[in-house]
Amino acid sequence: MAEGVPGGRVLGLDYGSRRIGVAVSDPLGITAQPLPALHREGDRKDIAGIARLVGGLGVDSVVLGLPLLLNGDEGPQAARARAFGDTLSAELSLPVTMWDERMTTAQSERHLIESGVRRERRKELRDSLSAMFLLQSFLDLRRRK
């Protein structure tokens, strides 16, 4: 999978077993904003939903969270995310960059608690906020290069 091209709109995805958190960059690829999460319906339907987002938003590349273990190793979830990323890249004909997503869920949860969001509502927001944090870290590193 290729690195995203500098500039242009980037879609960030936090691939989970129940939901896919979604975030998108601004057209210049500087800031990330969360979008509503997609509820998983199987890879084919999930990719079709992502394709609609890509087309509607004018996305040039995708950043997909890679759920590494805390020690940096890849476990079964990382293998599933990589397989999904390969399929996504082939189906959308777009570069998909795998990005370390360790700690984004904890960061999202902490942010939501500090913002006073109730527990029931946090579950709805956490995945897309995680996608926003992982996409923003990707955009920040890309800008520094």
Give me Rg for the CA atoms of the chain.
Answer: 14
Q: How far apart are CA 142 and CA 30, in angstroms?
A: 9
CATH number of the structural domain spanning residue 71: 3.30.420.140
Residue 59 resides in a domain: yes
Sheet of strand 9-15, all strands in order from the earlier edge strand to the far edge = 32-39, 19-25, 9-15, 59-66, 96-100
Q: How far apart are CA 3 and CA 121, in angstroms?
A: 34
Q: Structurally, how many domains does the chain consist of?
A: 1
Instruction: Enter the tokens of residue 132.
Output: 């926003």
Q: How far apart are CA 7 and CA 25, in angstroms?
A: 10
CA dihedral of residues 11, 102, 126, 129 (deg, nearest 10)? -40
Q: What is the reported pTM? A: 0.85
Residue 13 resides in a domain: yes
Give Cα separations from 116 to 34, 109, 128 (angstroms). 18, 11, 17
Residue type, 10: V
Residue 17 resides in a domain: yes
Residue 4 resides in a domain: no
Residue 138 resides in a domain: yes
The pLDDT value given to residue 42: 94
Confidence of residue 34 (pLDDT cuts 50, 70, 90): very high
Domain that holds residue 70: 9-144
Residue 1 resides in a domain: no
Residue 69 resides in a domain: yes
Highest mean pLDDT among 94-98, 99-103, 121-125: 94-98
